Amino acid sequence: MLIQGCEILGFDPEHNSTPYRGDIRLEGALIAEIGDGLAPKAGETVLDGLGKLVTPGLVNAHLHSQEALFKGRYDNLPLELWMLYAYPILNAQRISPELIYLRTMLVGMEALRNGVTTVVDDVIELPAQSMDQLDAVFRAYDDLGIRANVSGHIINRPFVDTVPFGRHAVPAEVSAQVDAIELVTEAEYLDYSIEAFSRFHGRSGRLRYVLAPSGPQRVTEPLLIKMAELARVQDAQYHIHVLETKMQAETGKILYGRTLVEYLSDIGVLDKHTTLAHSIWVSDEDMRILGEAGASVAHNPIANSKLGAGIAPFRKLLDFGVNVALGSDGLCNGSARMFDVIRMAALLHKVTTPNFEEWPSAEEVLSAATLGGARSCLLEESIGSIEVGKAADLVIYDLNTIPFTPRNDIRNHLVYSEDGSSIDRVFVNGEIVFESGALTKVDQSAMLEEFRDLAAHALRNHGDIEKANAVFHQPFVDIHEWASSQPSSVNRYSTPPVDWNDYGRGSPLYHV
């Protein structure tokens, strides 16, 4: 295909974020030529680019597709309390591969329709993920035509040991039930991952397996180290949740006597393969460590706001040389739409300082959603910008739409006005996967109907599971209140500690 006379926002080394007019030739899965006045070749489809904008596909650098079941279910719960219900400690039901396939489709379809060509799906199955469950995720993304990095998420420590005073706050008889849950061993997970690499890594030229320790406090140290070693051998992503909440900041002090970032650095698992999801409650020293290690941070501004986790230090992360990507996180916030995330990232950080020179620019936010995401996925040589030899993961926008009318700075329109409604076509690996308002490889209506039928049964069962896990609610409220009351050199809330530190002083743990 030859796209003629379009506006191009390429994020390439020559133009960076400056739009320019030109032609783009696609051959197979790749961008073959970029120029001005390119002549069509014999048998080449010519697309008139007049009134069109072409950009790299967006990258959702942190996503949990399993939360598709819980869209619209919870509100006003901080992360650790919300997890009790969305990720139940007791009596978790095993989700069938059929339902997993359909819930993955639900999330992937929304992603493609919103201009996302690459997702990093950190899939959590409790108490453990089977190979047929993982296969269902890969099959869905393969059938959909999207590019995806898919994890085998692992927790191999009892959950009551992953939060401060868990054994003290949770009744002994309940802790005994937690201890009775059989957890995956280090050897079992490594064998599982080696098989997953052989079965899925590189499938269709678009799909990759990701090693995903849940968090430093949720995975044993030997496994954290062995997973990092395996990631280097396979040149695979190492995806881990770090310092998402103030409770996690306090957890590092109690479990390791240092921050969680310092702990990860000391055991040698931080490098270019590492993406830290969230990293809100990081100190300046943490950010220095991450920048020097070449690690990435997946910033999730909407989910962090929905769960009251705090405001990540976007500008400081960039200043310390940390690669910043953007993600939707799970569907606790209602959707995986990346234009919502982009707009939130651009707006949220403008209210953290009166120094407007430090506010995120449209170019920086769009770069995080494209090149930053590509770098976090270890795919910066293949995607994230429009360059000859890179994969043809492209989004074409119709500029004759309400979001682009009247037309001023295209970058500002993309960040503050566009909602995905202007998207005309989406390409992944040179293949059109969305065109004229419809997905080209799957029947969306049929998928949604089938998903609704299966999800209704699963949600009925989940209601009973929520009741069983309510036994943890008050103990975790006590721990949350205690963590909130602790003095800290870092504050990532929008108000100073003097406004909220009294909140936790009623916790029975306050004087423990």
Ranges of H-type helices in 21-171: 79-86, 97-113, 131-144, 166-169
Residue 271: which residues within 8 A CB-CB, separation 6 or more?
228, 232, 293, 294, 295
**H or E element at residue 263:** helix 260-266
Exposure letters 206-239 (e unless 16+ CB within 10 A, then b): bbbbbbbbbbbbbbeeebbebbbebbeebebbbb
Q: Quick one: which of 90, 54, 91, 222 has its CA closest to 154?
A: 222
**pLDDT in the model for residue 331:** 85
DSSP per-residue codes, 172-207 = HHHHHHHHTSPPPPHHHHHHHHHHHHHHHTTGGGTE
Please give, one letter per residue, the 3-state secondary structure of 278-329. ECCCCCHHHHHHHHHHCCEEEECHHHHHHCCCCCCCHHHHHHCCCEEEECCE
Q: In angstroms, what is the C-alpha Rg of the chain?
A: 23
**pLDDT in the model for residue 224:** 98
Token pair 């020097």 in the structure block, residue = 292
On whether the CB atoms of residues 260 and 216 are closer than 8 A, the answer is: yes
Question: How far are the Cα atoms of 135, 210, 231, 400 from residue 239, in angstroms, in the given order?
Answer: 19, 7, 10, 40
**pLDDT in the model for residue 304:** 97
Q: For residue range 123-167, what is the model confidence (pLDDT) as tens digits?
A: 999 989 999 999 999 999 999 999 999 999 999 999 999 999 999
Q: Cα separation of 310 and 491, whole Å?
A: 8
Structure tokens at 69: 């079941």
Backbone dihedral angles phi then psi of residue 21, each to the nearest 5 degrees? -100, 140
Segments of the chain with pLDDT less than 50 = none
Region of 91 please: left (phi>0), alpha (psi -120 to 50) or beta. left
The Cα diameter of the chain in Å comes to 79
**pLDDT in the model for residue 486:** 93
Overall residue count recorded for the chain in this entry: 512
Q: Quick one: which of 159, 156, 154 has its CA closest to 175?
A: 159
Q: Cα separation of 242 and 226, whole Å?
A: 18
Structure tokens at 443: 């029947």
Residue 229: which residues within 8 A CB-CB, separation 6 or more?
none
Q: Cα separation of 406 and 385, whole Å?
A: 26
Does pTM surpass 0.85? yes
**pLDDT in the model for residue 500:** 85
Q: Quick one: which of 479, 487, 470 has its CA closest to 507?
A: 479
Q: For residue range 362-395, what is the model confidence (pLDDT) as tens digits?
A: 999 999 999 999 999 999 999 999 999 999 999 9
Structure tokens at 91: 């009596």
**pLDDT in the model for residue 502:** 84
Angle at Cα 40 formed by Cα 35 and Cα 44, nearest 5°?
Answer: 120
On whether the CB atoms of residues 169 and 487 are closer than 8 A, the answer is: no
Structure tokens at 21: 């007019």
**H or E element at residue 460:** helix 444-469
Q: Long-range contacts of range 13-16, CB-CB < 8 Å, 24 or more positions apart?
A: 13/387, 16/363
Evaluated on CA atoms 267, 271, 274, 279, the torsion sign reads: positive
Q: Cα separation of 240 and 245, whole Å?
A: 14
Q: Quick one: which of 322, 227, 233 has its CA closest to 276?
A: 322
On whether the CB atoms of residues 238 and 274 are closer than 8 A, the answer is: yes
**pLDDT in the model for residue 509:** 86
Residue 234: which residues within 8 A CB-CB, separation 6 or more?
197, 201, 209
Q: Quick one: which of 136, 130, 170, 176 has its CA closest to 153?
A: 130
Q: Quick one: which of 98, 97, 119 has its CA closest to 110?
A: 119
Token pair 């950080």 in the structure block, residue = 349
Token pair 């975790």 in the structure block, residue = 476
Amino acid identity, residue 63? L
Helix (H, G, I), strand (E, B) or coil at 487: coil
Token pair 């030529």 in the structure block, residue = 33
